[in-house]
Amino acid sequence: MKYKITAYSTALFSTWINVEELNLLIDAGDGLTSGLLQKSRKIKNVFITHPDRDHLNGLPQFVQLNARDGYPKIHYPKDSGSFSAMNNFLNRFDPHVSSSSWIGIEDQSRTEIKKNILVEAIRNEHVKSPIGINKSLSYKVIEIKKKLKTEFLSKSSNEIKEIARENGKDFITERIESNIISFSGDTPVDDYAKWDGSEILIHESTFLKNEGDSKIESKGNKHSRLDEVLQMVKEIKIGTLILNHFSSRYSKKEIDEAVKKSIAAYKIQIPVFLVYPGEIKRDILRTKPINE
């Protein structure tokens, strides 16, 4: 399936990403509801990566417009106090939003958002914290399918039905997990293995180069650099790359030139899409990749 992904992402200012078919929102920066309008009402599950304001300041308007019988469900790093504070404020300011759900989650937790579709949380190192304290998370969307075990492939359909009747369906099938979408959130590049096998990887690329980057780092929080991201992509297997969270210091021309240069240097063969600073990128996967 070619998912309908719409995103806005500008470092320091706002990030939000909507996967329409999954009723899923990742991060909720400013401009979320004005960017999606009525489509925001289809969102059931929101996963926030960390408590920086550019990733959560769109929540008050979003929840105010869409609160209904247990939805939307707002999932957030459980050890961040910003979310409970915001929820408490919203309940006083707009009492009807109390029907929404706010759920603290931790590293390696899994949340079912649709039948056979899970979101797995993964710790990242954007916000410095001790192991076991969850303040900054990345996310993977996992699809689960059942596949006929190899030893039964030569059996006829009638034989398979009889075996399943006697032993149950789980006896003849194996569970297959596919990483259909990965979202890095704000993070330094660290463990390549966490993204290996992603069909779609949405990864931040705040900086194009080293010069002056430390001036944009917020309270010591760590980000990724373009060359580090593409070096990683070269070493792992993914299907499609979407780069986001570029610093607004860069123009579209500078970003295009830097990305094309790095794609050539690292011999990247997969499609690469860009979410430019200050622009909503609608239905990303149906646009033209930068390296086509």
DSSP for residue 90: H
For the chain, the maximum distance between any two Cα atoms, rounded to a whole number of angstroms, is 68
* Pairwise CA distance, residues 3 & 143, whole Å: 13
Q: Would you call 229 helix, strand, or coil by DSSP?
A: helix
- Mean pLDDT value of segment 247-270: 96
Q: From the CB of residue 39, how many other CB atoms can be counted at a distance below 10 Å?
A: 13
Convert the pLDDT of each residue in 205-233 to its tens digit. 999 986 555 455 555 678 999 999 999 99
Residue 155 scores a pLDDT above 90: no
φ/ψ of residue 30, rounded to 5:
-55, 150
pLDDT of the residue at 60? 94
Convert the pLDDT of each residue in 161-179 to its tens digit. 888 888 988 888 899 999 9
pLDDT of the residue at 219? 56
Looking up tokens 């990303």 gives 284
By the 10 Å C-beta count (0-12 exposed, 13-18 middle, 19+ buried), 111 is classed as: middle
On the question of a cis peptide bond just before residue 72, with omega within 30 degrees of 0, the verdict is yes
Cβ atoms of residues 105 and 76 within 8 Å: yes
Helix (H) or strand (E) holding 258: helix 252-266
pLDDT of the residue at 246? 96
* Pairwise CA distance, residues 2 & 4, whole Å: 7
DSSP for residue 68: B
- pLDDT grade for 50, boundaries at 50, 70 and 90: very high
- pLDDT grade for 69, boundaries at 50, 70 and 90: confident
Convert the pLDDT of each residue in 113-141 to its tens digit. 999 999 999 999 999 899 999 999 999 99
Of the listed ranges 93-107, 212-226, 270-284, the one predicted with least confidence: 212-226
- Mean pLDDT value of segment 224-247: 97
Closest Cα to residue 28, out of 79, 72, 88, 94? 72
- pLDDT grade for 2, boundaries at 50, 70 and 90: confident
pLDDT of the residue at 149? 87
DSSP for residue 91: H
Give pTM, 2 decimals: 0.92
